[in-house]
Amino acid sequence: MENIVSIKGLSKAFGSHRVLKNIDLDVKKGEFITIFGPNGAGKTTLMRIMSTLVEPSAGSISIDGFNVKDDPVEIRKRIGSISHETYLYSELTAEENLRFFGRMYGMDKNHLDDRVDELIEQVGLEYRSNDRVGTFSRGMKQRLSIARALIHQPPILFLDEPYTGLDQHAASTFESVLRGLDAQNTTKIMISHNIDRSLKMCDRVLILNNGKIVFDKLRHDVGSIDDFKATYESFVHE
């Protein structure tokens, strides 16, 4: 299968502080990879560079054939982002939020109408679609943020610590929504430090520590959650 994300020799420094050191990473189309790592390992920076918010200091990243430095706008059209921040406007209703972001992605009205209805149903918010997002629970907001991220049918989905702030129930609902979506062909890259929840979701596991990828295996090669936790400890606290 072809690589949809290809990172070569990526480094990032803030002043004299080197956050990412010479990272190489290829992600195949349709893969779901999770990057684990402690705070300050550079996970968020890596994610922000991939989503064109931060420029790399060195190295190249291509996403779906486009380079982050040369064509950030083309890349943004192709990625959807879910984060612990919901990126939703509290004063607008669920539907208005989706419509607004759909327009930002340049979708035409007819297509957008269908897409909004479809997504609201998929994330199970059809009875609340005309309520202000400010009145939603954290879990509902997080589900709506999935719909927001998928509005333009992106081939790649970034998930940045999506479990933060969700209780067990909300997290389970979030997972089933994520599984049930028409996102099966979507490539997903998640960063997380929640091993219990995140490990079972993905099919490839990476550990980023101190700005380097120190571990990279397929999900069925890492064993149980406890096995992986032991592996994780061995890399992170040495």
Partner 1 sequence: MIRSLHIAAKDLKAEFRTKQMLNSMVIFSLLVIVIFSVSFGDLLGDSETVSQLAPGVLWIAFTFAGMLGLSRSFASELENGCLEGLKLCPVDRSAIYTGKAISNVVIMFLVELITIPLFAVMFNYNIQGLLGLVVVIVLGTIGFISVGTLLSALTVNTGTRELLLPILLLPIIIPVIIPAVLATGKILVNGDISDISGELRLLLVYDIIFFVIAQLVFEYAIGD
Partner 2 sequence: MSTNSQKINILSILTAIVMFIAAYMIFFYLPQMRDTSGQLLDSSFKIFYFHLPIAITSYLAFFVVFVASILYLKKGTHNWDVLARSAAEVGSIFALLVLVTGSIWAKATWGWYWVWEPRLTTSLALFLVYLAYLMMRQAIEEPEKRARLSAVFGIVGFASVPLSFLSIRMWRSAHPLMFGPSAQGSSGGLEGTSLQFTLIVNFIAFFLLFATILAYKVKNENLQEEINAKKQALP
Q: Is 105 in the site for partner 1 (CB under 8 A)?
A: yes
Beta bridge partners of 183: none
Residues 180, 36: Cα–Cα separation, whole Å: 24
* Residues touching partner 2, count (CB under 8 A): 4
Query: How are beta strands 17-28 and 3-14 bridged, if at all?
Result: antiparallel
- Tell me if 111 contacts partner 1 by CB under 8 A: no
CB of 43 to partner 2, least distance (A): 19
Out of 29, 87, 214, 229, the residue judged to bind partner 1 by CB under 8 A: 87
Binding residue for partner 2, selected from 1, 2, 15, 238, defined by CB under 8 A: 15
Tell me which of 8, 9, 14, 135 binds partner 2, using CB under 8 A. Answer: 14
**Token couple for 214:** 């120190």
Give the helix ranges, DSSP H, for the chain: 43-50, 72-78, 94-104, 109-122, 138-150, 168-180, 195-198, 225-236
The closest alpha carbon to 148, from 190, 185, 96, 109, belongs to 96
87 binds, among partner 2, partner 1, none (CB under 5 to 8 A by kind): partner 1
Does position 177 interact with partner 1 (CB under 8 A)? The reply is no
- Asked if residue 180 lies in contact with residue 28, where contact means CB atoms within 8 angstroms, the answer is no
* Interaction of residue 173 with partner 1, rule CB under 8 A: no
Q: Is 16 in the site for partner 2 (CB under 8 A)?
A: yes
Angle between helices 109-122 and 94-104 (to 10 degrees): 130
Q: Is 148 in the site for partner 1 (CB under 8 A)?
A: yes
Query: How many beta carbons lie within 10 A of that of residue 19, not counting itself?
Result: 20
Which one of partner 2, partner 1, none interacts with residue 230, CB within 5 to 8 A by kind? Answer: none
Chain positions 163 to 222 lying near partner 2, rule: CB under 8 A, are none
User: Does residue 21 come out as left (phi exceeding 0), alpha (psi in the -120 to 50 range) or beta?
Assistant: beta
Q: Cβ closer to partner 1: 132 or 217?
A: 132
Contact in structure between 34 and 215 (CB atoms under 8 Å): no
Q: Choosing among partner 1, partner 2, none, which partner's interface includes residue 29 (Cβ < 5 to 8 Å by kind)?
A: none
Judged by CB under 8 A, the stretch of 10-18, 90-98, 146-154, 161-169 that binds partner 2 is 10-18
- Amino acid found at 44: T
DSSP 93: B
Which residues in this chain contact partner 1 in the complex, by CB under 8 A? 48, 51-54, 73-74, 76-77, 79, 81, 83, 85-92, 96, 100-101, 103-106, 132, 141, 148
Which residues in this chain contact partner 2 in the complex, by CB under 8 A? 14-17
